[in-house]
Amino acid sequence: MKKILAIILILAALSFSLAACSENTEIKSDEQAKETVVNLTGDLDTLGKSLDNLNEKLS
């Protein structure tokens, strides 16, 4: 019984981590796509600022 429980627990943990890894990677609707694009422009803005910061440190 313990072995079965252990296997089940491992499987559960595996499926949990798989789900965590795959979350947000699939887009299923136009609405979600638009929202992703809006968020992406914000992300790109943040990225630009980080690069500016690195540029400043190297200058």
Partner 1 sequence: MKKLAALLFIFILFLSPFAIAEEGTTETTQPSPPPTEPSPPPSETPTTQPQQPTEPIAPEPSSGGGGEGGGSPAPPPKEHKEDSQCPPPPSPSCNQDQRAEPFYQNGCLSGYNCVPRDGQEGPRDQPPESRCPPDRACMKGEECVPCPGQGQQFQNIPPGCHVEQGEFGEFIKCEQDKRYEEEKKRGEEDCRKHNGKFIIRPGTTAWECVAQGQQGFFQQGQCPSNEQLKQIEDQCSASKGKTEHFRDRSGCEAVSCRQEFSQGHGSEEEKIKFMALGCEEQGGQFVFDERGPNCIGGQQQIRINRDLKPLDGVELLKVALEMESVIQVFNEISAKLESLENYYQSKGDEEKAKAFEIALSQLDGAMNRLDEIRIGLAENADSLQEEDRYAVLGDMQQINSIIKDVAVTLLTGGKSKRAATQRFEKRAEGGFESEFEGPEGISQEEGFDILQGFQNCAEFSEDDPFKFSPEPGVSVKLEGLKDRNCVMKVNPPEMPGEITLLLPPEVYQFFDGPHLLLRDDVECSPDFACKMMRQQLQREARPPERFGEQERQREFREGNVQDFQGPEFPEPRGRFEQPKSGELRPSQCDGAELNNEECAKWAINTNTLEKIPQCKGLTEEQCTKLLKNSWDRAFENKGFEQPQQQFPQEFKGGEFKQEFEQKGYPSPEQFKQFEQYQSQYPQQYNYPQQQFPQQSFQGSSSAGFCGDGSIAPSLGEECDDRNNKDGDGCSASCKVEQQPVAVANVIKNFGDWMRGE
Structure tokens at 5: 């429980």
Under 8 Å between Cβ of 27 and 36:
yes
Which of 3/55 has CB closer to partner 1? Answer: 55
Which of 3/45 has CB closer to partner 1? Answer: 45
CB of 22 to partner 1, least distance (A): 7
Handedness of CA 5, 7, 9, 15 (dihedral sign): negative
Structure tokens at 13: 């943990």
Residues that bind partner 1 (CB under 8 A): 1, 5, 8-9, 11-12, 15-16, 18-20, 22-28, 31-59
